[in-house]
Amino acid sequence: MMAEWDSASAVRGGDGWDALAPVWMERVGDSGDPVRAFLLDPVTLELLGEVRGRQVLDGGCGEGRFARLLARRGAHATAVDLSEQMLAPALEEERRHPLGIRYLRGDLADLSALATASFDAAVANMSLQDVEDYQGALREVARVLRPGGQFVFSILHPCGSSLGVAPDLGWEYTDPAAPSSPRRYYKVDRYFERRRSAIPLWRDVAICVPHHHRPLSDYTTALRRAGFLVRDLAEPAPDPDLVAQDPSSWEKFGRIPYFLVMDAVRLG
Ligand SMILES: C[S@@+](CC[C@H](N)C(=O)[O-])C[C@H]1O[C@@H](n2cnc3c(N)ncnc32)[C@H](O)[C@@H]1O
């Protein structure tokens, strides 16, 4: 399932996302996917706290769903993404139903269009793992945050992404020939090998997007060096009722942590 990253044919993440954008709009779009709705959004919003009246940056905003969610809660949202095709529907939606969101095309590792210390908070939902220069991105997010500003970001949990992140890649099944048979365990290996790969998000779509596997400590070290203090972290898991209602969708998310959400504060 997992193809190796081909740096000659991929321009730092933009290409894959440009190609995938129409499929993303069809399958995720404005309503978000169930993983976002049930696992990521509640935790991210809880860690962010009250956003009303705050200047909030959404880094790697994609088609703008979370920036709209922030704006509807009263935040002054600015949203940045590298992919022109992911941003296009965001801009179109803002034109049709204005929420005052400022969209910019750009790399999280170069936010020079944004003023220093101009944000109260920043979020990056499932985007930092795509970013090649994640250390530069963390430095830039720190620069645009005011001292005491907050940065909440989610990534695929590094503990499970070392063997790749295509659906179910690390699971061992009771019947190895039948991925619908009960899962035995999730295998983790080569955790400390930093690796960039190109991954398909859906089994039936042959478009790959970038993913960087990094040990968790790479993120915490880079956060500290960029001037952040990690205040909290969360590993969202589904409610047991949700698992009971639809085990084929949710059982795996209740067995191991698929996602990590971190809450860091920009030190003064
Ligand atoms: C998995 S999508 C997440 C989109 C949105 N945050 C969400 O959760 O629905 C990752 C997004 O990160 C963007 N991205 C990747 N590398 C980036 C970079 N270096 N700078 C800014 N955005 C980037 C991609 O274009 C893509 O839209």
- Distance from residue 159's CA to the centre of ligand 1 (Å): 21
Q: Residue 191: phi, psi to the nearest 5? A: -60, -35
Residue 206 lies in a domain: no
Low-confidence ranges of the chain (pLDDT < 50): 1-13, 167
Question: Does ligand 1 come within 6 angstroms of the Cβ of 154?
Answer: no
CATH number for position 44: 3.40.50.150
H or E, element range at 93:
helix 84-96
Q: Side chain identity at 263, as an amino acid letter?
A: D
Residue 164 lies in a domain: no
**What's the pLDDT at 178?**
85
Residue 237 lies in a domain: yes
Give the three-state DSSP class for 102.
Answer: strand
Residue 202 lies in a domain: no
Number of H helices, E strands in the chain: 9, 12
Which ligand 1 atom minimizes the distance to the CA of 36? 8
- Distance from residue 62's CA to the centre of ligand 1 (Å): 5
| Residue for token pair 């044919």 | 9
Q: Which domain holds residue 119?
A: 3-157+216-266
- Distance from residue 12's CA to the centre of ligand 1 (Å): 11
Residue 173 lies in a domain: no
Question: Does ligand 1 come within 6 angstroms of the Cβ of 130?
Answer: yes
Residue 113 lies in a domain: yes
Asked whether the whole model's pTM tops 0.85, one would answer yes
Residue 145 lies in a domain: yes
Residue 140 lies in a domain: yes
Question: Does ligand 1 come within 6 angstroms of the Cβ of 210?
Answer: no
Please name which of 95, 98, 100, 96 lies closest in space to residue 79, comparing C-alpha atoms.
Answer: 100
Question: Does ligand 1 come within 6 angstroms of the Cβ of 85?
Answer: no
> Best of 5, 11, 15, 17 to mutate for ligand 1, by most ligand atoms within 8 A of CB?
17
Burial 78-96 (b: 16+ CB within 10 A, else e): bbbbbbebbbbbbbebbee
Q: Which residue minimizes the CA distance to atom 1 of ligand 1?
A: 126
**What's the pLDDT at 32?**
77
**What's the pLDDT at 166?**
55
**What's the pLDDT at 168?**
56
How many domains, in total, are found in the chain?
Answer: 1
